Amino acid sequence: MTDGSLSTSRRIRVVVVDDQDLLRTAFRMIFEVTDDIEVVGEAADGKEGVAVVRRTRPDVVLMDVRMPGMDGVEATRHIRSKSADPCGPGLPKVLILTTFDLDEYVYDALRAGASGFLLKDTLTDDLLSAVRVVASGEAVTSPSITRRLITHFLDQAPVAAPPQLDRLNVLTARELEVLTLIARGRSNTEIAQEMYLSAGTVRTHIGRIFAKLQLRDRVQAVILGYECGLVSRDPQPPARG
């Protein structure tokens, strides 16, 4: 297993971590009827989940965020930490499960390395799609969810430290503009329209931004934009020195 796209030659291996037996059973039943996804382990809390993940080496972990003992945030941090991974460079992707839209723990879980989040009452087709998307190396954050994520944390969580714009100095002016639009929840199509660029050019810019800033996906780009002050109630991007 690598930390990039999953080979299509085998089934996606999933571990389900949730303190509710009925939910774990429901998820297992959903995956059992697919041809490309299999449940290789279950756990009822974060600590057990970390142990099961290390033993089974799955591709994707469905992680409840609120559990007794070690919660989903801390478990995600352990699972996504290379120093804590005894299996080599491959790290499982983590998909956070939450009862409430934009749960207060979601932001911390995304910072800990989760690739996205889903409500527990997500439709079956959307759940299966999310697992496949995450296994392929992408993040499950639609532009609409990204916008709500931004709004939620602008309203409830102040930036912990002054904007660290020095990290953005490696970007060109055009790349900074693209990153700002990503942080505001724009899709690739919307970015292309606003900047009068082709879709291919936008993808090229995004690839270079992620490489220069060592970002894994759009989730990390949004978080960086928030922490660096790109996302604010002022629609203008920060001035460059």
String of DSSP letters for 98-117? ESSTT-TTHHHHHHTT--EE
Over 90: is that where the pLDDT of 107 sits? no
Q: Give residues with Cβ within 8 angstroms of 174, minimum separation 6.
A: 195, 205
Q: How confident is the model at residue 239 (pLDDT cuts 50, 70, 90)?
A: very low
Over 70: is that where the pLDDT of 81 sits? yes
Over 80: is that where the pLDDT of 151 sits? no
pLDDT tens-digit map of 27-49: 999 999 999 999 999 999 999 99
What integer is the mean pLDDT of 182-211?
90
Residue 157 has a pLDDT of 53
Residue 63's DSSP bridge partners are 17, 96
What integer is the mean pLDDT of 101-122?
77
What integer is the mean pLDDT of 211-216?
88
Cut 0.85: pTM above it: no
Residue 40 has a pLDDT of 96
Instruction: Judge contact between 137 and 92, C-beta under 8 A.
Output: no
Question: Please, what are the domains in the chain?
Answer: 12-140 (3.40.50.2300), 154-227 (1.10.10.10)
pLDDT tens-digit map of 154-189: 565 544 444 456 789 999 999 999 999 988 878 888
Q: Which residue has the higher pLDDT, 240 or 56?
A: 56
How are strands ordered across the β-sheet holding 60-64? 37-43, 12-17, 60-64, 93-98, 116-119
Q: Give residues with Cβ within 8 angstroms of 13, minimum separation 6.
A: 38, 40, 56, 57, 58, 59, 60
Give the torsion through C-alpha atoms of 88, 93, 98, 104, to 10 deg: 70
